Amino acid sequence: MLFLLILSVILGAVVSGITGIGILFWVVAIIIFILGLPGSLIGSFIHGENEYSQDRADYRELMREIAEEERMDRYLDKIDELSDNYVDKPNIYIDNRQVHFHNHSVDNNQQRDKNGRFISTKKKKE
């Protein structure tokens, strides 16, 4: 709208300067402003709609991030709650794809076979 006002004043001044009639400045400026007003209002409305929809998209993204953080907090709290039931604290590894929950302890006294695999200490059923 400000652009329309500036444009009408400039065109009014140009017409007034070319013709040499001072009153034409006001006549041309007012006519151009009135004729350009609907287009300016429609343009500002459309531009305002774009800003509004972008604000709504930003708001939805913010709410999605907050919900994701809350889900992760609840998930980690649940893991902590489950890990309190074990004598040995489990190892929790978190990377960008998944959470690994390991509750097996490392026994350094356990024997290995020739390939380096642990040999089971469980007794076989007879």
pLDDT in the model for residue 126: 57
- 44: part of which helix (H) or strand (E)? helix 23-83
Torsion of CA 9, 12, 16, 18, to 10 degrees: 110
Could you read off the pLDDT of 21-59 as tens digits, one per residue? 888 888 888 998 899 888 888 887 777 767 777 888 899
The pair of structure tokens assigned to 105 is 């302890």
Q: Where are the domains of the chain?
A: 2-84
The reported pTM is: 0.36
Could you read off the pLDDT of 73-96 as tens digits, one per residue? 988 888 877 766 655 555 666 666
